[in-house]
Amino acid sequence: MAIRIVEFFGYEPSDPSNTARQFRASETCPFIQDYCTKTLGHGDLRVRSGACTIRQAKDPRPIITCPNRLYANDYRILRDVAEIAFGPRAQIITSADLHLLRHTEVPVVAFGQRWGKELRLPRRRGRGGYFVDWILAHVSSEGEPIDFVALEVQTIDTTGNYRAQRDAYVNGLPFDGYSDGGMNWENVNKRILPQLIYKGHVLRREPLCTKGLFFICPRPVYERLQDRLGGDLLAYPNLQPGTITFLVYDLGRPVPPGNIRELVQVDHFTTTVDQVALAFTAPRNLPPPQVYEQAIRAALWE
């Protein structure tokens, strides 16, 4: 497989604008206003990746590969979730802004990385496998929690090496062809779905988590999840304990130099953790029978 970087430190890799050059030179991310958190290499040779979005040689569609890319427009995804869960008048504040509670119609306190406090959850047997990326807590004007929703923000990892492509772009040099890399789609089966099911069950036991878990991801990741689960999960019209709501995003159209492509919500689907767990353990999109036998025969007599 082969990949090519579509967005580099937030901009098209060859964007000649001063803005794009400044982000490349400082190796900072325009979506979190801090240094890029993705790295390449090993040990002391690690460098900041800068790759927000890539595409595969056989598929022209962009694939967002960095979770920070989903925090575009000043963490718009948090506002999207708050509006769905708590209504159009929901207003997100941080734990440092609690003095504003009495002046906020529907206050929602965000707990997550780089946004106020992170929740200190106890570890279970030395592990923290039920941690989520974000908690949005709807609170009263007196600061008492009323209900909350949890958010997981997930993209997909790359495999292989695109260091030469990255170094060329950092130095303002052209790069021909594609890097030797691919997408780690197997993470959908090995890590993403098991964690989603586990955390969904954990949250179902929380009396105040009345609207379940939100899963934020790029369109290609969502399509892989649906493919792995059979593509026929039952939809639920209302948020409730034990639901999982998928909010799916993609890049908008290409933009002129000096601009960042818009992040567009392209799908919104609510089901239950039971539906996901059942589909994961009893998949319906299996290959035809005897595929192993046929492969053995072909290998013996080719």
Domain residue limits, the chain: 1-64+157-183, 67-154+185-302
Residue 65 has pLDDT above 90, yes or no: yes
* pLDDT tens figures, 228-251: 998 889 999 999 999 999 999 999
Structure tokens at 17: 């604008």
Residue 144 has pLDDT above 60, yes or no: yes
Block residue for tokens 């609510």 = 270
Q: Average pLDDT in the 50-68 region?
A: 94
* pLDDT tens figures, 14-45: 999 999 999 999 999 999 999 999 988 766 67
What SS3 state is found at 261?
Answer: coil
Angle at 205 between CA 270 and CA 245, to 5 degrees: 10
Within 10 angstroms of residue 96's Cβ, the number of other Cβ atoms is: 11
**b or e along 188-222 (b: 16 or more beta carbons within 10 Å of the residue's beta carbon)?**
beeebbebbbebbebbbeeeebbbbbbbbbbbbbb
What SS3 state is found at 44?
Answer: helix
Counting residues of the chain whose pLDDT is more than 70, the rounded percentage is 95
**Confidence band, pLDDT 50/70/90 cuts, at residue 115:** confident
What SS3 state is found at 201?
Answer: helix
What SS3 state is found at 202?
Answer: helix
Within 10 angstroms of residue 132's Cβ, the number of other Cβ atoms is: 20
pLDDT of residue 42: 67
- 156, 63 contact by CB (below 8 A): yes
Residue 127 has pLDDT above 70, yes or no: no
pLDDT of residue 124: 63
What SS3 state is found at 172?
Answer: coil
pTM of the model: 0.91
